[in-house]
Amino acid sequence: MKEKVQAVLDKIRPALQKDGGDVELVEVDENGTVKVRLQGACAGCPMSQVTLKNGIERVLKQEIPEVKTVEKV
């Protein structure tokens, strides 16, 4: 599943990079929890939680039904 998650993150990445940010995949566990590290402008942005839940998590869940939640580390 890690490869699928990475492929979806690679699709999302250009939108984040356009705003000076990025996302790094840290871990995918057997329970469907994806852990990511927000980088660049996203790391300190006050809207990063919105980006994480309404952007990254929503797209990952749509594309990969096994994904249950996304957390930042």
Residue 23: predicted pLDDT: 96
pLDDT band at 11 (very low <50, low <70, confident <90, very high): very high
Domain definitions of the chain by residue range = 2-72
pLDDT digit string, tens, across residues 15-70: 999 989 999 999 999 999 999 999 999 888 888 999 999 999 999 999 999 999 99
Distances (CA, A) of 73 to 54, 63, 66: 17, 22, 20
Residue 2: predicted pLDDT: 94
Domain 2-72 = CATH 3.30.590.10: no
